[in-house]
Amino acid sequence: MDQASIIRDLLIWLESHLDQPLSLDNVAAKAGYSKWHLQRMFKDITGNAIGAYIRARRLSKAAVALRLTSRPILDIALQYRFDSQQTFTRAFKKQFAQTPALYRRAEDWNAFGICPPIRLDSFTLPTPEFVTLPELHLIGLTQSYSCTLEQLSNFRTELRLQFWRQYLGETKTLPPVLYGLHHSRPSQEKNDEQEVLYTTALEPKHVPTNVQEGQPIVLQGGEYAMFNYQGSPSGLQDFILMLYGTCLPALELTRRKGHDIERFYPQGENQQSEAPTEIHCDYLIPIRR
């Protein structure tokens, strides 16, 4: 196995073990090399020192936890292997230029400081189209669920389909455009979870007569970064996580307050048929440049 393949496998392993002890001795044992040789190889392949990279990724994961849960800062610090809140705050401020408490309270979410995971496979960064939307009036149904950050991908993939079926009821042919609106906030019941609010919505002119009653939804106008997704339903959530973890930091964008918008184009598919194997979706993130 060539060195690039070894480091590629190691990067994948590191990403799923950032909350575990990762001393150089442990990582070297996993890779099967001396720590001195591994450090040289990692730097040659990625351009990063392995210890600094692990710390930057841990702090990036901690930043997401600060924004999306209400867990105490000390708990987050300990999860990502910092020995005290003071040590964590010092390291966090160095990477994000503000304290964890200020980062959590900020109204906008600036991508500055987020360290994306290194990808050694061929990877093309999705290019957004910057669009300004007018105020949009929809009819929809909002539902919520709570989950940990680790459960987020599986929950959203399963519940999207469930929520759409509940909202559309017995409608046989799907409208030409479906809107999925979602935002999250720290759970008020469990501080290690987030509450996700997901709204299934349609333009008033596309609401079938047999769809259950919905509530008027007003989407505020503003600028969005619009990304196009075409692929399997199960891959959409990984795509969204990649937008937040890699694209927004790379493009130096700030997420402003508001809903993320999913626009699906089902092309007259039958609602009663089996789940589609491929979906076409515009994913819009409210941003400030």
Cβ(62)–Cβ(77) under 8 Å? yes
- Same domain membership, residue 55 and residue 195: no
Predicted TM-score (pTM) of the model is 0.86
Residue 237 burial class via C-beta count within 10 angstroms: exposed 0-12, middle 13-18, buried 19 and up = middle
pLDDT digits (tens, 9 = 90+) for 22-49: 998 889 888 888 989 999 999 999 999 9
CATH of the domain at 257: 3.20.80.10
The whole-number average pLDDT for the span 62-74 is 89
- Same domain membership, residue 160 and residue 37: no
- Same domain membership, residue 267 and residue 162: yes
CATH of the domain at 31: 1.10.10.60
Is the per-residue pLDDT at 156 higher than 80?
A: no
Q: Which of 156, 185, 146 is nearest to 262 (CA)?
A: 156
Higher pLDDT, 238 or 254: 254
- Residue 116 placed within a domain: no
> Quick one: pLDDT at residue 229?
95
- Residue 206 placed within a domain: yes
- Same domain membership, residue 255 and residue 189: yes
Sequence-separated (6 or more) residues with CB below 8 Å from residue 256: 107, 108, 222, 286, 287, 288
Sequence-separated (6 or more) residues with CB below 8 Å from residue 14: 22, 27, 54, 57
- Residue 115 placed within a domain: no
Report the SS3 class of residue 213: coil
The whole-number average pLDDT for the span 135-151 is 86
CA atoms within 13 A on the CB side of 276: 22
The whole-number average pLDDT for the span 97-115 is 94
Of 106, 137, 154, which one is at a domain's C-terminal end?
106
Q: H helices of 169-258, where? A: 236-242, 248-251
Of 106, 137, 161, which one is at a domain's C-terminal end?
106
The whole-number average pLDDT for the span 189-207 is 86
- Same domain membership, residue 267 and residue 202: yes
Q: Which of 232, 233, 230 is nearest to 158 (CA)?
A: 233
What six digits make up the tokens of 208? 């079938």
Of 74, 106, 138, which one is at a domain's C-terminal end?
106
77 confidence band (pLDDT: 50, 70, 90): very high
Q: How many domains does the chain have?
A: 2
- Same domain membership, residue 151 and residue 267: yes
Q: Print the domain residue range for 206.
A: 129-288
Please report how the helices 24-31 and 35-46 are oriented relative to each other, as an axis angle in degrees rounded to 10: 80
